[in-house]
Each structure stands twice: as structure tokens, then as C-alpha cells.
């Protein structure tokens, strides 16, 4: 194997490793594959981050309902 072959293999290996590291970092941040959101994606319903966002929104709505109920009860007792 010539030195140029070894050099080319190292360049290709570095590019592949760089791409893998980039994708892992993006996955940990919760960013999708293209980074432009899931609105036009046919697999948007299967997105992990979208499920977390939906459950957080539901939890916030439940807290708001409980707060409204508590305020209503306090108003009727006064």
C-alpha cells in the first residue's frame, strides 16, 4: 500500500467519524435529522422529542386547570 492510499483512508475515516459525532450530538440535543422541524415530515408522529413536548404541554394544561379550580373554590368560600 502506498503512502497516498493510507492518507486517503485516514481522510475518509476522519470524515466518517466526524459525521457520526455530529449526528450523536444532534440526537442528544433533540434536533431532527435535517434540523428544520417535523412539520413536513411524514414520520412526525414517531418523533421522540415531539412526544416529550406533547406530554409537557399536557402537564402544563393540567397544572393550569388545577390552579383555576383552586381559585374558583377560594372565590366561592370567601
User: What cell does 21 get?
Assistant: 459525532
> Could you state, in order of their start, the residue ranges of all structural domains in the chain?
1-30, 38-78
The 3-class SS string of 49-64 reads HHHHHHHHHHHHHHHH
pTM: 0.46
Band (pLDDT 50/70/90 cuts) for residue 29 is confident
Q: With 80 as the cut, is the pLDDT of residue 65 above it?
A: no
Q: 36 in helix, strand or coil?
A: coil
What is the rounded average pLDDT of the residues 49-54? Answer: 51
Burial of 71 (0-12, 13-18, 19+ CB in 10 A): exposed
Instruction: Compute the distance between CA of residue 8 and CA of residue 68 in angstroms, rounded to an integer.
Output: 66
Amino acid at each position: 500500500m502506498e503512502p497516498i492510499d493510507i492518507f486517503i483512508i485516514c481522510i475518509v475515516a476522519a470524515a466518517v467519524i466526524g459525521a457520526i459525532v455530529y449526528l450523536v450530538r444532534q440526537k442528544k440535543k433533540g434536533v431532527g435529522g435535517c434540523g428544520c422541524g417535523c412539520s413536513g415530515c411524514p414520520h412526525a408522529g414517531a418523533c421522540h422529542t415531539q412526544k416529550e413536548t406533547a406530554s409537557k404541554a399536557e402537564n402544563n394544561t393540567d397544572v393550569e386547570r388545577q390552579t383555576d379550580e383552586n381559585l374558583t373554590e377560594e372565590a366561592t368560600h370567601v
